[in-house]
Amino acid sequence: MQLTSTFKLVFLKQMLLGVQLSAASSNSMSFHERKNAIKLSADAAIAFARGRTRWSQGLITNLSKNEKNKDILKSLLGRKYDNLRKPYCKSLKIPRSKKILRRCLRMCSRRKKAGRAQHDVCKSVLAKALAKKRIQVLKKLVPGGESMDGFSLLDETLDYAMSLKAQVDVMRRLLKTSKALNIKQMKAWGQGGLDFTAGGHL
């Protein structure tokens, strides 16, 4: 699916570009600024790699709320920036999506057929209220989730979660590789004694 190596490679490349663009390795940045630049690049990169989905659009919209970020995003994403900012056709809150969500929830829980006791009715009312509350939480977690409902919310959630997983995976590997390179470099320096020009050799 989309946890493919192509996605991850595109993501990595885009993230590194973003980091470079925001000059995160320059010494003039504070740690905090550097971290934010990395996070911005990482988020822009998953949106870029994934293409146009509701969540990726929501993500770019959220990131663009900061004017400074907006400029970086524009140069990083190029044409894709406008593509991702283009609004989806206005989602009408049709009663249909509520029905679909109800169907989803019904399919999750096993349902006792005949002879429902009063107790069971209370339980199911509570379960529905709980589910409703959790859907509100989910809407806040998924970018652009506030305007989604029903099936599309769950669909976008799945897609978003998979992209996040890939993001974490790549960042972990980037960290591991960078650390390993750092250590090698330090060792090389150490072996060369005070001769720091030996540092380039791996």
- Interface positions with other proteins (CB under 8 A): 12-13, 16-17, 19-20, 24-25, 27, 31, 34-35, 38-39, 42, 88-89, 94, 100, 103-105, 107-110, 127, 130-131, 134-135, 137-138, 141-142, 151, 154-155, 157-158, 160-162, 164-165, 167-168, 171-172, 174-175, 178-179, 181-182, 184-185, 199-200, 202
Task: Give 55 or 81: the residue with its C-beta nearer to other proteins.
Answer: 55
Q: How far is the CB of 14 from other proteins (least distance, A)?
A: 10
Cβ nearer to other proteins, comparing 35 with 68: 35
- In angstroms, rounded to a whole number, what is the distance separating the alpha carbons of residues 163 and 67? 25
Q: What CA–CA distances, in Å, run from 50 to 3, 12, 55, 95, 175?
A: 10, 12, 10, 30, 22
Alpha helices in the chain (DSSP H): 5-21, 31-50, 54-63, 67-77, 79-85, 95-108, 118-141, 150-191
Structure tokens at 42: 């990482």
Tell the smallest beta-carbon distance from residue 19 to other proteins (Å): 8
Q: Which two tokens stand for residue 199?
A: 């540092």
* CB of 97 vs other proteins, minimal distance in Å: 9
For residue 142, the 8-state DSSP code is S
Identify which of 147, 169, 164, 176 has the alpha carbon closest to the alpha carbon of residue 43.
164
Decide whether 117 or 202 has the Cβ nearer to other proteins.
Answer: 202
Distance CA 142, CA 56 (A): 10
Cα 167 from Cα 70, distance rounded (Å): 21
Query: By C-beta, is 31 or 193 nearer to other proteins?
Result: 31
Question: What's the min distance (Å) between Cβ of 73 and other proteins?
Answer: 17
Q: 85 or 139, CB closer to other proteins?
A: 139
Positive or negative, the CA dihedral 129, 131, 134, 138 is negative
For residue 67, the minimal CB distance to other proteins (Å) is 21
Nearer to other proteins, 61 or 100 (CB): 100
Query: In angstroms, what is the minimal distance from the CB of 119 to other proteins?
Result: 17
